[in-house]
Amino acid sequence: MTPTTPDQDSLGFRSYGGEAKLHCHDFHQIVLPRHGALELEIGGRGGRVEGRQAAFIAAGTRHAFRAEGGNRFVVLDTSDPAFGEAALDRLARAAFFPIGQPVLSLIDFLGSMTADAVAGPLRAHWCGLFHAALTGGPAGNESGALDRALAFMRARLDQPITIRDIAREAGLSETRLHALFRAEHGMAPHAALIEIRLDRALELLATTRLPVAEIALLTGHGDQSGLTRRLRQSRGLTPAAFRRVQSAGSA
Which residue ranges in the chain fall short of pLDDT 50?
Answer: 1-8, 137-140
Q: For residue 203, give Cα distances in angstroms to 159, 200, 214, 216.
A: 18, 5, 13, 12
Q: What integer pLDDT is reported at residue 238 of this predicted model?
A: 93
Q: For residue 111, give Cα distances in angstroms to 70, 105, 205, 232.
A: 16, 10, 62, 62
Q: What integer pLDDT is reported at residue 139 of this predicted model?
A: 41
Q: What integer pLDDT is reported at residue 143 of this predicted model?
A: 57
- For residue 41, the cross-strand partners are 46, 64
What does the alpha-carbon distance between residue 71 and residue 90 come to, in Å, rounded to a whole number? 28
Residues in contact with 196: Cβ distance below 8 Å, sequence separation at least 6, in sequence order: 150, 153, 154, 157
User: For 185-227, what is each residue's pLDDT tens digit?
Assistant: 889 999 999 999 999 999 999 999 999 999 999 999 999 999 9
User: For 103-128, what is each residue's pLDDT tens digit?
Assistant: 888 898 888 876 665 666 677 778 77
- For 111, other C-beta atoms within 10 Å of its C-beta total 13
**DSSP-assigned letters across all residues of the chain:** -PPB--SS-EEEEE---SS-EEE-BSSEEEEEEEES-EEEEETTEEEEEBTTEEEEE-TT--EEEEE-SS-EEEEEEESS-TT-HHHHHHHHHHSEEE--HHHHHHHHHHHTS-HHHHHTTHHHHHHHHHHHHHHT-HHHHHHHHHHHHHHHHHHTTTS---HHHHHHHHTS-HHHHHHHHHHHHSS-HHHHHHHHHHHHHHHHHHH----HHHHHHHTT--SHHHHHHHHHHHHSS-HHHHHHHHHHHH-
Phi, psi for residue 138 in degrees, rounded to 5: -65, -40
Contact between residue 72 and residue 35 where contact means Cβ atoms under 8 Å apart: yes
Phi, psi for residue 25 in degrees, rounded to 5: -145, 165
